[in-house]
Amino acid sequence: MKRIPEISVVMGVYNGEKELAEAVESILAQCDADFEFIIVNDGSTDCSADMLDAFAARDSRVRVIHQQNTGLTRALVRGCSEARGEFIARQDSDDISLPGRLSLQAAMLRQNPELGFVSSWAEWVGPEGELLFVNKRVDEPGPATQKLLYEKQGPAAHGSVMLRKSSYEASGGYREAFYFAQDIDLWMRLGHIGQLGYVQKSLYRFKVSFSSISGSKGALQAEYDRLAHACHNARLKDEDETPFLREASQLRTNGKFPTSPKSDASTAYFIGRCLLAKGDSRARKYLQMAVRNHPWHVRAWASLLKAVVWPTHAEEK
């Protein structure tokens, strides 16, 4: 009989070969944590499948599931259904778990039975690893849970979360209607089952890139976010959420949210503004990219002018 690990780390991968190795290694390097690593290859057409099989051959903690492409939500549903641990930790294929993440989050769950899930602070970095800011959250679980449920402030990154498997199952888990924003939909249901806690330390590194969902599909993701909150508000009022779930199920196929150069402009502007606030000269490159992709982006032009007029310094981080 196989030994049951305390933690099941679940990751979905689709064509992630560029950053996959670093993401996987960041989990395998975690110390003082008893875990299995379930990785769902969601029909990748690049070298991701071969890379994952090589990791599995090298490390018995890695379990790879190969399937046809169905999208991240269904990949996570599959991965979580295979989880054997008491706790389920998420990890995204283009992000990094920092040292001590798994052990510190598991300890918080063990020591605080009222918690249904935990996260931590997260470093947000740009496409080339530029530190944009540290996304911090409040210390106390009560206020943290209230901010999640009533102020739209949840964990700093999807992959930064660890939750009790029992809470995940009691909440109904990830719902396939949410092709995007599946994390927000889940968190708000978890918040009614147990409290949310944050380790007061940066334990996760979230990458903002042009190929990420928030970058390339920002408008579509925002609409899923709206529907996740609409479902949440319906539940708070003891009303039927079915119409919003039906709308979410049909959203991706209605063709109203094509990818456009403006998506790249928005991402470049966000990165540029963050770097500008830190006095980082690399802001200019991203702000120039923003105005090239969206010449009528007034705020990008204003920020670029500021970056040119006021000298900045190059950051090493």
Highest mean pLDDT among 1-10, 250-259, 281-290: 281-290
Quick check: helix, strand or coil at residue 195? strand
Q: What mean pLDDT, rounded, does the chain reach? A: 94
Q: For 191-244, how does the pLDDT look when each residue is reduced to its tens digit (9 = 90+)?
A: 999 999 999 999 999 999 987 655 556 788 999 999 999 999 999 999 999 999
Compare 113 and 314 and report the one with higher pLDDT. 113
pLDDT band, very low/low/confident/very high, at 108 (cuts 50, 70, 90):
very high
Distance CA 281, CA 308 (A): 9
Whether the per-residue pLDDT at 316 is higher than 50: the answer is: no
Can you give the pLDDT at residue 262? Answer: 79
Whether the per-residue pLDDT at 250 is higher than 60: the answer is: yes
Phi-psi category of 14—alpha, beta or left, where left has phi over 0 and alpha has psi -120 to 50?
beta
229 alpha-carbon distance from chain centroid: 17
93 and 19 Cβ atoms separated by less than 8 Å:
yes
Q: For 13-45, how does the pLDDT look when each residue is reduced to its tens digit (9 = 90+)?
A: 999 999 999 999 999 999 999 999 999 999 999
Query: Which amino acid type is present at position 244?
Result: F
Distance CA 171, CA 235 (A): 13
The dotted CATH code for 7-213 is 3.90.550.10
pLDDT band, very low/low/confident/very high, at 309 (cuts 50, 70, 90):
confident
Can you give the pLDDT at residue 211? Answer: 77
Q: Where are the domains of the chain?
A: 7-213, 261-309
Element (H, E) at 149: helix 141-151
Distance CA 312, CA 277 (A): 10
207 and 19 Cβ atoms separated by less than 8 Å:
yes
For residue 95 the two structure tokens come to 């992000």
Whether the per-residue pLDDT at 133 is higher than 90: the answer is: yes
Phi, psi of 201 (to 5 degrees): -165, 150
